[in-house]
Amino acid sequence: MSTIRVAALQMRSGTDIQRNVADFEALVREAAGMGAAYVQSPEMTGILVRSREALFERVRPAEEDPLVGMAAALARELSLFLHVGSTAIRLGDDKVANRAFLFGPDGARIATYDKIHMFDVDLDNGESWRESATYAPGSESIVATLPDMRLGLSVCYDLRFPQLFRAQALAGAEVLTVPAAFTRQTGAAHWHVLTRARAIENGAWLIAAAQGGRHADGRETYGHSLVVDPWGRIVAEAEHDDPAVIVADIDTAAAGAARAKVPNLQNAREFAVAEAVYGRRAS
């Protein structure tokens, strides 16, 4: 048995970085008090602000970011693995990174991951998002090896790209992570279906810490932070959009058991896609 207690933090981050950092600290301490050895926060833990100008006024490089510094200190003080789902990190004059950070119990940085897939969409309710106008996409997937689990990193919109999670599962990831700030509209339609599907098709645990509620910049996010087991069962959920901590005890051996029952990772085959056209005789 390789059991670890994990926690997902549900937040309602706003435009005030110091307040967000304080909220993050309080929730991390609550999770530690519940016995969590691994704690994950949502996408954009440090700041949620829609205005590009306001964002650039506030964000800093990683070495100056107050959330990053607080996370390292908390991981060391509380002796846990602390995964900042993501926050905005300044890269230069015209771009920022949507970057995740993973810290160990000694406070050392284990890994960073920059969100690969940019949320450039137009929704039915008039919402329009162009992350690529502000954020520089990442180009490298990350699988982190911890003492009790191998962890695949992703951020929010990455959830809609199953090839990312399949590559992580093939690289040995037993736990997939999806810190998110799903919109209320897309979350209500797709959040549970997509998170469960990624867990099922890869025979992996999935931990998804989410933003929830109406934020200071006017956006609304779905909440419903989740922990899903490798058989697709939801074992922990915040069934609302308010700030909260959820915990679950996960046994990473369950990933191997699920993959043994349905060995689709082994059974996958290469194939070509051919075209068939009505009116044209097949050769």
pLDDT of res. 137: 95
Phi, psi angle pair for 218, to nearest 5°: 100, -15
What are the Cα distances from residue 236, in Å, to 98, 210, 229, 249?
26, 13, 9, 10
pLDDT of res. 123: 74
| 262 Cβ contact list (under 8 Å, min separation 6) | 203
Token pair in block for residue 113: 């991951």
**Domain architecture of the chain: domains with CATH:** 3-267 (3.60.110.10)
Q: What is the CA radius of gyration of the chain?
A: 19
Angle at 26 between CA 218 and CA 248, to 5 degrees: 95
The amino acid at residue 108 is A
SS3 1: coil
Place of tokens 């074992």: 235
Encode pLDDT of 43-67 as tens digits: 999 999 988 889 999 999 999 999 9
Angle at 46 between CA 228 and CA 6, to 5 degrees: 25
Catalytic residues, which ones? Answer: 43, 115, 156
Nearest to 39 by CA among 1, 6, 4: 6
DSSP state of 138: P
Nearest to 184 by CA among 215, 153, 155: 215
Encode pLDDT of 200-246 as tens digits: 999 999 999 999 999 999 999 999 999 999 999 999 999 999 999 99
SS3 83: strand
pLDDT of res. 226: 98
Q: How far apart are CA 46 and CA 141, in angstroms?
A: 22
pLDDT of res. 160: 97
Q: How far apart are CA 86 and CA 74, in angstroms?
A: 16
| 95 Cβ contact list (under 8 Å, min separation 6) | 134, 135, 136
Show the low-confidence residues of the chain (pLDDT under 70).
1, 125-126, 129, 283
